[in-house]
Amino acid sequence: PFSLSARALSLKPSATVAVTSRALELRRAGEDIISMSVGEPDYDTPPHIREAAVQAIRDGRTRYTPVSGVPELREAISEKFRRENGLHYAPDAVTVNSGGKQAIFNAFLALLNPGDEVLIPAPYWVSYPEMVALAGGVPVPVPTTTPTTPDNGFQLDVQELERRVTPRTRLIVLNSPGNPTGAVFPPEALRAVADLAVRRGLGIVSDEIYEHLVYGAEQVSVGTFAPEHTLTINGASKAYAMTGWRIGYAGGPKEVIAAMNALQSQSTSNASSVGQYAALAALTDHAATARFVQGARAAYRERRDLLVSGLNALGLPTPTPQGAFYVLTDTTRLHPDELEAGRLLLERARVAAVPGTDFGAPGRVRFSYATSAATLQEVLRRLAEL
């Protein structure tokens, strides 16, 4: 009795999901599979955040909240943007959403008309092009620089971006530190993109969800260069190990935030009330949160070094990412086609990683190193055998 919509049918089946389900299948069959495919911290949410959520439940903070989020949390986010990013968003220029994912989706729905083009530096997070298309827009991938040494690559080429601007271009998506590249865009590149946006009358959607996971590089918010042209996305998932709580947020020009709230009011309403109080604790108990973030960052950095040097030593070229918790490895030596390389890794080394196909990264596979050093050693041992 049902027929699927053109919209539903237009969704690309995800290579990520294909690998994950095959990995689960093998695991169910008793195989010892190591998953390097997940995009989430391996830590539990820090205790002070969990306690705040328990307290919120005890206090009966379990009802609908304003669609845009509880006022205390929007105040705290406004203050966080000022303190950590040098961005000045009043609390009513902030919206709280069910994950950074919903913030981005709301933004595309609020800002795109059919046929509007969105520039997306490649490799990119798989969801950007799909979300743009669902909102009726046209994703336009823009290549970043190719790594030539272990320490460079996947950087913005602003001329390349500008070459793709057409009369239909509306938005530029930036994601620094980036998934899946781990690349951090330096301030001068961000300033150049901001100038481009101002010159050509474009908006920037800046996804800064990995901002705290940076290993030595300078992390700057592009919104400081072009506040009127930038919508800044962030969230609790990656920095505070809160993926399951589903709290993301955005700050930007008030009329954009108001349109995102209007859309959200007719779809999901507010983000989970208990999750909001948990995020409030993460943003206001600075000392406890900073201790957690610093500890996690130091651990990720060690793991990154272990994995990057191990993969390069095995002859699998892997640039050193400066942020997030992913590496993007050239697997053409295993197989020219990254889907086949991913299959070999899974079937023969029992390591689940994500082929770059959906990330706009042909010939590469993404490993997440949000896992223990012992596990990484075992992964390297298995790859050496392969």
CB-CB contact of 80 with 212 (8 Å): no
Give me the least distance between CB of 360 and ligand PLP, in Å please.
Answer: 13
* Residue length of the chain: 386
* C-beta closer to ligand PLP: residue 243 or 309: 243
E strand or H helix at 290, and its extent? helix 286-313
CB-CB contact of 106 with 260 (8 Å): yes
* C-beta closer to ligand PLP: residue 45 or 380: 45
**Residue sitting closest to ligand PLP (CB):** 99
CB-CB contact of 122 with 328 (8 Å): no
E strand or H helix at 171, and its extent? strand 169-175
* C-beta closer to ligand PLP: residue 87 or 209: 209
* C-beta closer to ligand PLP: residue 212 or 350: 212
Question: Where on the chain is the footprint of ligand PLP (CB under 6 A)?
Answer: 39, 99-101, 125, 175, 179, 207, 209, 235, 237, 243, 248
Give me the least distance between CB of 121 and ligand PLP, in Å please.
Answer: 12
* C-beta closer to ligand PLP: residue 221 or 334: 221
Kindly calculate the radius of gyration of the chain based on its CA atoms and give it in whole angstroms.
Answer: 21
Give me the least distance between CB of 11 and ligand PLP, in Å please.
Answer: 17
Enter the DSSP assignment of 271. Answer: P
Contacts of 127 (CB under 8 A, 6+ apart): 101, 104
How many CB atoms neighbour CB 83 within 10 A?
Answer: 11
Give me the least distance between CB of 58 and ligand PLP, in Å please.
Answer: 26
Give me the least distance between CB of 348 and ligand PLP, in Å please.
Answer: 27
* C-beta closer to ligand PLP: residue 112 or 236: 236
**∠ Cα 34 36 41 (to 5°):** 115
Per the DSSP assignment, residues forming a β-bridge with 100 are none
CA 325 to chain centre: 10
Give me the least distance between CB of 332 and ligand PLP, in Å please.
Answer: 25
